[in-house]
Amino acid sequence: MRRLFSLLAVLAAPLFGTAAGSGTGPAFEETPFGKLPDGTAVTRYTLVNKNGVRVSILSYGGIVASFEAPDRAGKFADIVLGFDDLKGYLDGSPYFGCITGRGANRIAAGKFSLAGKEYTVTGANPHALHGGTKGFDKRLWKAEPAMTANGPSVKLTYTSKDGEEGFPGNLATTVTYTLQSDNGLRIDYLATTDKPTVVNLTNHSYFNLAGHNAGEILGHTLQLVADKYTPGDAAMIPTGKIAPVAGTPFDFTTPTVIGTRLKETGGDPVGYDLNFVHGMKREENAKLVATVTEPKSGRILEVLTTEPGVQLYTGNFLGKEVGKGGAAYKQYHAFCLEAQHFPDSPNQPDFPSVTLKPGEEYRQTTVYRVSAK
Protein backbone atom coordinates (compact mmCIF):
# COMPACT_ATOMS: atom_id res chain seq x y z
CA MET A 1 0.00 0.00 0.00
CA ARG A 2 1.42 3.40 -0.98
CA ARG A 3 1.79 6.21 1.53
CA LEU A 4 2.33 9.78 0.33
CA PHE A 5 3.35 12.57 2.68
CA SER A 6 3.30 16.26 1.85
CA LEU A 7 5.08 19.00 3.74
CA LEU A 8 1.81 20.49 5.04
CA ALA A 9 0.60 17.10 6.22
CA VAL A 10 3.78 16.41 8.11
CA LEU A 11 3.81 19.85 9.74
CA ALA A 12 0.23 19.29 10.86
CA ALA A 13 0.90 15.85 12.31
CA PRO A 14 2.36 15.53 15.82
CA LEU A 15 3.79 12.12 14.95
CA PHE A 16 5.57 11.55 11.66
CA GLY A 17 3.64 9.36 9.26
CA THR A 18 0.27 9.72 10.98
CA ALA A 19 -1.21 11.88 8.26
CA ALA A 20 -1.01 11.90 4.50
CA GLY A 21 -1.59 14.49 1.84
CA SER A 22 -1.41 15.03 -1.90
CA GLY A 23 -0.37 18.68 -2.14
CA THR A 24 1.74 20.18 -4.90
CA GLY A 25 4.68 21.01 -2.66
CA PRO A 26 7.60 18.82 -1.56
CA ALA A 27 6.53 15.33 -0.56
CA PHE A 28 7.59 11.72 -0.46
CA GLU A 29 5.97 8.40 -1.19
CA GLU A 30 6.64 5.13 0.61
CA THR A 31 5.91 1.87 -1.25
CA PRO A 32 6.86 -1.81 -0.85
CA PHE A 33 9.63 -3.06 -3.15
CA GLY A 34 9.62 -6.80 -2.62
CA LYS A 35 11.25 -9.06 -0.06
CA LEU A 36 14.71 -10.45 0.48
CA PRO A 37 15.16 -14.26 0.38
CA ASP A 38 14.75 -14.38 4.18
CA GLY A 39 11.39 -12.61 3.91
CA THR A 40 12.58 -9.18 5.06
CA ALA A 41 10.67 -6.39 3.34
CA VAL A 42 12.42 -3.76 1.23
CA THR A 43 10.89 -0.29 0.90
CA ARG A 44 11.10 2.30 -1.87
CA TYR A 45 11.09 5.96 -0.83
CA THR A 46 10.28 8.46 -3.57
CA LEU A 47 11.31 12.04 -2.84
CA VAL A 48 9.41 14.77 -4.74
CA ASN A 49 10.40 18.43 -4.83
CA LYS A 50 8.37 21.52 -5.72
CA ASN A 51 9.46 21.26 -9.37
CA GLY A 52 8.08 17.75 -9.79
CA VAL A 53 11.51 16.11 -9.84
CA ARG A 54 11.27 12.62 -8.32
CA VAL A 55 14.05 10.46 -6.92
CA SER A 56 13.47 6.95 -5.55
CA ILE A 57 15.74 5.39 -2.92
CA LEU A 58 15.64 1.75 -1.81
CA SER A 59 16.29 0.59 1.75
CA TYR A 60 18.30 -2.25 0.15
CA GLY A 61 21.77 -1.01 -0.75
CA GLY A 62 20.72 2.63 -0.47
CA ILE A 63 20.06 2.35 -4.19
CA VAL A 64 19.01 5.35 -6.27
CA ALA A 65 16.42 3.43 -8.28
CA SER A 66 15.08 6.34 -10.36
CA PHE A 67 15.75 10.04 -10.98
CA GLU A 68 13.03 11.73 -13.03
CA ALA A 69 13.97 15.18 -14.33
CA PRO A 70 12.71 17.50 -17.11
CA ASP A 71 14.43 18.37 -20.38
CA ARG A 72 14.48 21.85 -21.92
CA ALA A 73 10.88 21.40 -23.09
CA GLY A 74 9.70 20.31 -19.65
CA LYS A 75 9.38 16.63 -20.61
CA PHE A 76 10.38 14.28 -17.79
CA ALA A 77 12.54 11.18 -18.15
CA ASP A 78 14.22 8.78 -15.76
CA ILE A 79 17.96 9.43 -16.12
CA VAL A 80 19.47 6.55 -14.09
CA LEU A 81 19.76 2.88 -15.02
CA GLY A 82 18.15 0.26 -12.80
CA PHE A 83 15.57 -2.49 -12.49
CA ASP A 84 11.80 -2.58 -12.07
CA ASP A 85 11.91 -5.05 -9.18
CA LEU A 86 14.11 -6.25 -6.36
CA LYS A 87 14.97 -9.48 -8.17
CA GLY A 88 16.94 -7.53 -10.75
CA TYR A 89 19.18 -6.06 -8.07
CA LEU A 90 19.59 -9.38 -6.28
CA ASP A 91 20.46 -11.34 -9.43
CA GLY A 92 23.72 -9.56 -10.17
CA SER A 93 23.37 -5.83 -10.60
CA PRO A 94 26.58 -4.06 -11.73
CA TYR A 95 26.22 -1.76 -8.69
CA PHE A 96 23.33 0.23 -10.20
CA GLY A 97 22.71 3.31 -8.00
CA CYS A 98 24.03 1.82 -4.76
CA ILE A 99 26.17 2.89 -1.82
CA THR A 100 29.55 1.23 -2.16
CA GLY A 101 31.74 0.55 0.89
CA ARG A 102 33.34 0.12 3.28
CA GLY A 103 36.05 0.45 0.66
CA ALA A 104 34.72 1.87 -2.61
CA ASN A 105 36.68 1.10 -5.77
CA ARG A 106 39.67 -1.29 -5.72
CA ILE A 107 42.05 -2.50 -3.03
CA ALA A 108 45.05 -4.34 -4.48
CA ALA A 109 44.95 -8.08 -3.79
CA GLY A 110 42.23 -7.32 -1.25
CA LYS A 111 44.87 -6.65 1.41
CA PHE A 112 45.89 -3.69 3.54
CA SER A 113 47.71 -3.10 6.84
CA LEU A 114 46.82 -0.99 9.86
CA ALA A 115 48.96 -0.66 13.00
CA GLY A 116 51.18 -3.48 11.79
CA LYS A 117 48.33 -5.95 11.24
CA GLU A 118 47.30 -7.18 7.79
CA TYR A 119 43.65 -7.46 6.82
CA THR A 120 42.10 -9.28 3.87
CA VAL A 121 38.88 -8.14 2.21
CA THR A 122 36.53 -10.88 1.07
CA GLY A 123 35.98 -11.75 -2.57
CA ALA A 124 39.27 -10.48 -4.01
CA ASN A 125 39.36 -11.72 -7.63
CA PRO A 126 42.21 -10.91 -7.79
CA HIS A 127 41.54 -7.50 -6.20
CA ALA A 128 38.82 -6.36 -3.80
CA LEU A 129 36.08 -4.24 -5.38
CA HIS A 130 33.54 -1.98 -3.64
CA GLY A 131 33.77 -3.47 -0.16
CA GLY A 132 33.94 -7.22 -0.62
CA THR A 133 31.56 -10.06 -1.38
CA LYS A 134 28.67 -8.48 0.52
CA GLY A 135 29.46 -4.80 0.78
CA PHE A 136 27.15 -1.92 1.65
CA ASP A 137 25.41 -2.32 -1.72
CA LYS A 138 23.99 -5.66 -0.58
CA ARG A 139 22.90 -4.69 2.93
CA LEU A 140 19.47 -3.72 4.22
CA TRP A 141 19.59 -0.23 5.73
CA LYS A 142 17.23 1.16 8.35
CA ALA A 143 15.35 4.01 6.70
CA GLU A 144 13.84 7.12 8.28
CA PRO A 145 12.08 9.46 5.85
CA ALA A 146 11.49 13.07 6.86
CA MET A 147 10.49 16.47 5.57
CA THR A 148 13.34 18.89 6.24
CA ALA A 149 13.97 22.58 5.64
CA ASN A 150 16.12 21.58 2.65
CA GLY A 151 13.55 19.21 1.15
CA PRO A 152 12.22 15.65 1.48
CA SER A 153 14.86 13.24 2.70
CA VAL A 154 15.50 9.69 3.79
CA LYS A 155 18.17 8.84 6.37
CA LEU A 156 19.69 5.38 6.07
CA THR A 157 21.64 3.78 8.91
CA TYR A 158 23.69 0.60 9.06
CA THR A 159 26.28 -0.73 11.49
CA SER A 160 28.96 -2.87 9.90
CA LYS A 161 30.26 -5.28 12.52
CA ASP A 162 33.91 -5.74 13.40
CA GLY A 163 35.39 -8.18 10.87
CA GLU A 164 32.56 -7.83 8.35
CA GLU A 165 34.01 -8.47 4.88
CA GLY A 166 37.44 -8.45 6.55
CA PHE A 167 37.39 -4.83 7.76
CA PRO A 168 38.26 -4.05 11.40
CA GLY A 169 36.04 -2.13 13.82
CA ASN A 170 32.33 -1.67 14.32
CA LEU A 171 31.48 1.05 11.80
CA ALA A 172 28.27 3.00 12.45
CA THR A 173 27.24 4.57 9.15
CA THR A 174 24.56 7.08 8.18
CA VAL A 175 23.78 8.13 4.61
CA THR A 176 21.13 10.81 4.11
CA TYR A 177 19.57 11.57 0.72
CA THR A 178 17.85 14.96 0.37
CA LEU A 179 16.10 16.22 -2.77
CA GLN A 180 16.65 19.99 -2.78
CA SER A 181 14.55 22.69 -4.42
CA ASP A 182 17.35 23.37 -6.93
CA ASN A 183 16.95 19.79 -8.26
CA GLY A 184 20.08 18.66 -6.47
CA LEU A 185 20.15 15.21 -4.89
CA ARG A 186 22.35 15.80 -1.87
CA ILE A 187 24.05 12.81 -0.23
CA ASP A 188 25.53 13.28 3.25
CA TYR A 189 27.71 10.51 4.68
CA LEU A 190 28.72 10.06 8.32
CA ALA A 191 30.64 7.18 9.92
CA THR A 192 32.31 6.45 13.25
CA THR A 193 34.33 3.47 14.45
CA ASP A 194 35.49 1.87 17.69
CA LYS A 195 38.74 0.57 16.17
CA PRO A 196 41.10 1.96 13.51
CA THR A 197 39.71 1.06 10.09
CA VAL A 198 39.55 2.26 6.49
CA VAL A 199 36.50 3.98 5.00
CA ASN A 200 35.86 5.17 1.44
CA LEU A 201 32.18 5.54 0.51
CA THR A 202 30.48 6.68 -2.69
CA ASN A 203 27.32 6.39 -4.75
CA HIS A 204 27.44 4.31 -7.94
CA SER A 205 24.58 5.75 -10.00
CA TYR A 206 24.68 5.14 -13.75
CA PHE A 207 23.44 8.22 -15.63
CA ASN A 208 22.12 8.76 -19.14
CA LEU A 209 20.82 12.32 -19.42
CA ALA A 210 18.78 11.48 -22.52
CA GLY A 211 16.90 8.83 -20.51
CA HIS A 212 17.89 5.49 -19.01
CA ASN A 213 16.77 3.67 -22.18
CA ALA A 214 18.19 6.13 -24.73
CA GLY A 215 21.32 4.21 -25.78
CA GLU A 216 24.92 5.41 -25.87
CA ILE A 217 26.19 8.35 -23.84
CA LEU A 218 29.22 8.96 -26.05
CA GLY A 219 27.62 12.14 -27.40
CA HIS A 220 27.37 13.71 -23.93
CA THR A 221 29.83 16.53 -23.23
CA LEU A 222 31.91 16.36 -20.04
CA GLN A 223 34.02 18.91 -18.21
CA LEU A 224 36.04 17.94 -15.14
CA VAL A 225 37.70 20.32 -12.69
CA ALA A 226 40.69 17.99 -12.54
CA ASP A 227 44.08 18.51 -14.14
CA LYS A 228 45.54 15.27 -12.77
CA TYR A 229 44.67 11.59 -12.56
CA THR A 230 45.98 8.39 -10.98
CA PRO A 231 47.47 6.12 -13.67
CA GLY A 232 46.85 2.42 -13.18
CA ASP A 233 47.99 -0.96 -14.44
CA ALA A 234 46.00 -3.36 -16.61
CA ALA A 235 43.87 -4.29 -13.57
CA MET A 236 43.19 -0.58 -12.86
CA ILE A 237 45.27 -0.63 -9.66
CA PRO A 238 47.01 2.76 -9.27
CA THR A 239 50.77 2.87 -9.72
CA GLY A 240 50.98 5.40 -6.89
CA LYS A 241 51.79 8.28 -9.21
CA ILE A 242 49.63 11.36 -9.74
CA ALA A 243 50.04 12.50 -13.34
CA PRO A 244 48.85 15.50 -15.39
CA VAL A 245 45.99 14.94 -17.83
CA ALA A 246 47.44 17.39 -20.35
CA GLY A 247 48.32 15.68 -23.62
CA THR A 248 46.38 12.51 -22.74
CA PRO A 249 42.91 11.23 -23.71
CA PHE A 250 41.96 11.91 -20.07
CA ASP A 251 41.95 15.71 -20.41
CA PHE A 252 38.43 16.99 -19.75
CA THR A 253 39.51 20.34 -18.34
CA THR A 254 37.55 21.95 -21.19
CA PRO A 255 34.13 20.66 -22.34
CA THR A 256 34.77 17.54 -24.44
CA VAL A 257 32.44 15.03 -26.06
CA ILE A 258 32.96 11.78 -24.14
CA GLY A 259 33.36 9.61 -27.24
CA THR A 260 35.92 11.86 -28.96
CA ARG A 261 39.02 10.11 -27.61
CA LEU A 262 37.44 6.91 -26.31
CA LYS A 263 39.50 4.59 -28.52
CA GLU A 264 42.70 6.23 -27.32
CA THR A 265 42.09 5.14 -23.73
CA GLY A 266 43.16 1.55 -24.36
CA GLY A 267 42.15 -1.07 -21.85
CA ASP A 268 40.10 -4.21 -22.25
CA PRO A 269 37.36 -3.30 -22.81
CA VAL A 270 38.09 0.14 -24.21
CA GLY A 271 36.61 3.03 -22.25
CA TYR A 272 37.03 5.29 -19.25
CA ASP A 273 37.35 3.74 -15.80
CA LEU A 274 39.69 6.12 -14.05
CA ASN A 275 40.11 8.28 -10.96
CA PHE A 276 40.53 12.01 -11.59
CA VAL A 277 42.25 14.23 -9.01
CA HIS A 278 40.94 17.68 -8.16
CA GLY A 279 42.42 17.91 -4.66
CA MET A 280 44.54 16.14 -2.08
CA LYS A 281 42.22 16.43 0.90
CA ARG A 282 38.54 16.46 1.79
CA GLU A 283 37.06 19.95 1.48
CA GLU A 284 34.90 21.59 4.12
CA ASN A 285 32.16 22.43 1.60
CA ALA A 286 31.11 20.67 -1.59
CA LYS A 287 32.55 22.27 -4.72
CA LEU A 288 31.76 21.80 -8.40
CA VAL A 289 33.97 19.08 -9.91
CA ALA A 290 32.08 17.89 -13.01
CA THR A 291 29.52 19.13 -15.53
CA VAL A 292 27.85 16.89 -18.11
CA THR A 293 25.50 18.10 -20.86
CA GLU A 294 23.32 16.14 -23.27
CA PRO A 295 22.67 18.15 -26.46
CA LYS A 296 19.30 16.77 -27.60
CA SER A 297 17.45 17.01 -24.27
CA GLY A 298 19.39 20.00 -22.96
CA ARG A 299 19.78 18.29 -19.60
CA ILE A 300 22.80 19.22 -17.52
CA LEU A 301 24.24 17.28 -14.59
CA GLU A 302 26.54 19.05 -12.14
CA VAL A 303 28.48 17.08 -9.55
CA LEU A 304 29.61 18.86 -6.40
CA THR A 305 31.58 17.12 -3.67
CA THR A 306 33.87 17.48 -0.71
CA GLU A 307 35.92 14.47 -1.91
CA PRO A 308 39.37 14.85 -3.55
CA GLY A 309 38.68 12.48 -6.44
CA VAL A 310 36.00 11.35 -8.84
CA GLN A 311 35.90 8.10 -10.82
CA LEU A 312 34.67 8.38 -14.40
CA TYR A 313 33.24 5.11 -15.73
CA THR A 314 31.57 4.80 -19.13
CA GLY A 315 29.71 1.52 -18.69
CA ASN A 316 32.43 -0.48 -20.43
CA PHE A 317 31.25 -3.80 -19.00
CA LEU A 318 27.52 -3.32 -19.57
CA GLY A 319 25.82 -5.63 -22.07
CA LYS A 320 23.80 -8.36 -20.38
CA GLU A 321 21.41 -6.31 -18.26
CA VAL A 322 17.70 -5.96 -19.03
CA GLY A 323 16.54 -2.97 -17.07
CA LYS A 324 13.48 -0.87 -16.38
CA GLY A 325 10.69 -1.31 -18.88
CA GLY A 326 12.63 -4.09 -20.61
CA ALA A 327 15.39 -1.71 -21.72
CA ALA A 328 18.52 -3.45 -22.98
CA TYR A 329 21.51 -1.81 -21.32
CA LYS A 330 24.55 -2.13 -23.58
CA GLN A 331 28.16 -1.01 -23.46
CA TYR A 332 28.51 2.79 -23.13
CA HIS A 333 24.81 3.26 -22.34
CA ALA A 334 25.62 5.16 -19.13
CA PHE A 335 28.34 7.00 -17.27
CA CYS A 336 29.20 7.13 -13.57
CA LEU A 337 30.88 9.96 -11.68
CA GLU A 338 31.75 8.46 -8.29
CA ALA A 339 33.03 11.03 -5.77
CA GLN A 340 35.61 9.31 -3.60
CA HIS A 341 39.08 9.06 -2.16
CA PHE A 342 41.49 7.43 -4.58
CA PRO A 343 41.49 3.68 -5.44
CA ASP A 344 43.80 1.50 -3.33
CA SER A 345 44.38 4.37 -0.91
CA PRO A 346 45.04 2.00 2.05
CA ASN A 347 48.17 0.80 0.21
CA GLN A 348 49.31 4.12 -1.26
CA PRO A 349 51.12 6.32 1.30
CA ASP A 350 51.18 9.35 -1.04
CA PHE A 351 47.39 9.32 -1.52
CA PRO A 352 44.96 11.10 0.85
CA SER A 353 44.36 8.80 3.80
CA VAL A 354 41.18 6.75 4.22
CA THR A 355 42.04 5.68 7.78
CA LEU A 356 39.37 6.40 10.40
CA LYS A 357 40.20 6.20 14.11
CA PRO A 358 38.00 6.06 17.24
CA GLY A 359 36.86 9.53 18.24
CA GLU A 360 37.00 10.78 14.63
CA GLU A 361 34.14 11.25 12.18
CA TYR A 362 34.11 10.38 8.50
CA ARG A 363 32.02 13.04 6.77
CA GLN A 364 31.41 13.47 3.07
CA THR A 365 28.89 15.39 0.96
CA THR A 366 28.14 14.90 -2.73
CA VAL A 367 25.40 16.58 -4.78
CA TYR A 368 24.07 15.48 -8.18
CA ARG A 369 22.22 18.56 -9.50
CA VAL A 370 20.13 18.48 -12.67
CA SER A 371 18.97 21.37 -14.86
CA ALA A 372 18.18 21.98 -18.53
CA LYS A 373 18.61 24.68 -21.12
Check 130, 302, 338, 341 and give the catalytic one: 338
**β-pair partners for 356:** 197
Do the Cβ atoms of 335 and 343 come closer than 8 Å?
A: no
Provide DSSP, 98-158. Answer: -EE-SB-SEEGGGEEEETTEEEE-TT-SSSEETTSTT-GGGSBPEEEEEEETTEEEEEEEE
CA distance 86 to 96: 12
- The total of other beta-carbon atoms located within 10 Å of residue 182's CB is 16
Report the candidate in 310, 295, 100 with the shortest Cα–Cα distance to residue 210: 295
Amino acid symbol at 211? G
Segment holding 8, helix H or strand E: helix 7-12
Do the Cβ atoms of 25 and 46 come closer than 8 Å?
A: no
∠ at Cα 332 (328, 338), nearest 5°? 110
Contacts made by residues 240-246, CB under 8 angstroms, sequence distance 24+ = 240/348, 240/350, 240/351, 242/277, 242/350, 245/276
CA distance 178 to 184: 8
Active site annotation includes 204: yes
Active site annotation includes 338: yes
Check 30, 68, 165, 204 and give the catalytic one: 204
Count of CA atoms in the C-beta half-sphere (13 A) of 151? 22
Catalytic positions:
204, 338
